[in-house]
Amino acid sequence: MKRLLLLFFSTCLTFSVAIAQCSSNEEEIIITINTDDYPTETSWGLTDQNGLGWTNTPISYSYANTTLIWTLCVPNTNCYTFTIEDANGNGICCAWGSGSYNVTYAGVTVASGGSFGFSEVTNSIGNCAGPIGFAQTIGSL
């Protein structure tokens, strides 16, 4: 079951939606983005090993220099890849504001940053073990 929590924090606006905790066969992923001066250039995606996943909707200019938080409950049997992109190729830090991002999986930080070009990719988030017998095959080479 997919559940999403979206929080917006700024000096003028706070928006939150409460959800139930993740079920026993899910883990919580929290994506936090501190936007720069040009939030419409920023997007992110989270995909599993099957190419399925989530992405943010376009971020409005009204959320410049704002903290945005997405909370997802995802199947704990999958391996995920997180990608953050900047359409202008200057990341979200530092020339046009002090933006940053942080991603946690099961309470552990798995990706963070802000200074990148067009995109930054973090692989192997979650249950990313190779196929059964993979370790034994490598060991016997």
Asked whether residue 111 carries a pLDDT value surpassing 70, the answer given is yes
Could you give the CA distance from residue 70 to residue 132 in angstroms, rounded to a whole number? 33
Question: Considering the chain, what is the average pLDDT of its residues?
Answer: 83
Buried b (16+ CB within 10 A) or exposed e, 77-112: ebbbbbbbbbeeebbbbeebbebbbbbbbeeeebbe
Asked whether residue 141 carries a pLDDT value surpassing 80, the answer given is no
Percent of the chain with pLDDT over 70: 77
Asked whether residue 130 carries a pLDDT value surpassing 90, the answer given is no
What pLDDT, on a 0 to 100 scale, did the predictor assign at position 58?
A: 81
What pLDDT, on a 0 to 100 scale, did the predictor assign at position 134?
A: 39
